[in-house]
């Protein structure tokens, strides 16, 4: 997420938490500030999986400590756990005291999966009380299998499905403090043409009328 023309907030994640093919621990959902000033353009080269950039190229500057951490903020309604991949980050409106709202979110695409080599899709259901996950034929509780803590598929599930629901999308809200976002430059508001406004209104109606299981 851009703070200005050279500084960005970057969300790091390690695919640990409640999801499909993911382990539940350890957690690592941290946001760092990076600065591209003086960094080399690496868009045209093949990057190594780890280690320094090839050819002595200079990387971005990364803050030594996290800007903030998401993994400590669990939700009781989500079984006091975190989703395996928070993947959205945005700065919201400026508040009355001059601070900013910061939003971090995830969609729910990890609630739909399919096994390797299969064209059959499955839903993944989660029980926030027990922490259990099961995989069933999409749209039903038929042909369900348990999902192990490490994300692998377990044995056929024949227990009660009471308390299970689709893994939801989640939205976390934070508030900046002090001079956290002193370098933030708010993008200029760009008015939408009338056709775009009509399209967005139509999309909103479609979203509101969608099946509850997908919201």
> d(Cα 60, Cα 14) in Å, to the nearest integer?
20
DSSP SS3 for 20:
coil
Q: What is the DSSP letter of 3?
A: S
Domain ranges of the chain: 7-190
Find the farthest-apart pair of alpha carbons in the chain and give their distance in angstroms, rounded.
Answer: 59
CB 8 within 8 A of CB 36: yes
- pLDDT above 50 for 207: no
pLDDT band at residue 190 using 50, 70 and 90 as cut-offs: low
Q: Backbone phi, then psi, for 9, in 5-degree steps?
A: -100, 130
pLDDT at 191: 63
103 by Cβ neighbours in 10 Å (0-12 / 13-18 / 19+) ranks as middle
Whole-angstrom CA distances from 163 to 37, 126, 168 are: 51, 8, 14
Q: In the numeric block, which tokens belong to residue 130?
A: 């027990």
Backbone Cα Rg of the chain: 21
Average pLDDT over residues 12-26: 79
Using one digit for the tens of pLDDT, what is the confidence trace for 21-39? 777 777 788 999 999 999 9
Cα separation, 102 vs 53, in Å, equals 32
Whether the per-residue pLDDT at 48 is higher than 90: the answer is no
pTM of this structure: 0.75
Q: Is 201 exposed, middle or buried (0-12, 13-18, 19+ CB in 10 A)?
A: exposed
Contact 136, 146 (CB under 8 A): no
């Amino acid at each position: 997420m851009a703070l200005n023309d050279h500084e960005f907030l970057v969300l790091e994640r390690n695919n640990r938490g409640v999801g499909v093919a993911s382990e539940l621990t350890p957690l690592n959902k941290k946001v760092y500030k990076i600065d591209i000033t003086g960094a080399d353009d690496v868009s045209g080269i093949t990057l190594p999986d780890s280690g320094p950039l090839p050819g002595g190229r200079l990387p971005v500057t990364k803050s030594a400590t996290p800007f903030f951490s998401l993994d400590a903020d669990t939700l009781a309604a989500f079984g006091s756990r975190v989703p395996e991949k928070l993947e959205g980050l945005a700065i919201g409106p400026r508040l009355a005291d001059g601070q900013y709202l910061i939003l971090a979110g995830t969609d729910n695409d990890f609630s739909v999966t399919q096994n390797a080599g299969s064209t059959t899709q499955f839903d993944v259901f989660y029980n926030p009380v027990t922490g259990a996950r099961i995989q069933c034929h999409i749209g039903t509780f038929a042909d369900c299998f348990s999902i192990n803590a490490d994300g692998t598929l377990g044995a056929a599930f024949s227990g009660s499905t009471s308390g299970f629901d689709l893994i939801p999308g989640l939205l976390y809200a934070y508030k900046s403090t002090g001079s956290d976002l002193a370098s933030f430059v708010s993008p200029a508001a760009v008015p939408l043409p009338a056709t775009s406004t009509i399209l967005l209104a139509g999309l909103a109606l479609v979203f509101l009328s969608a099946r509850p299981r997908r919201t």
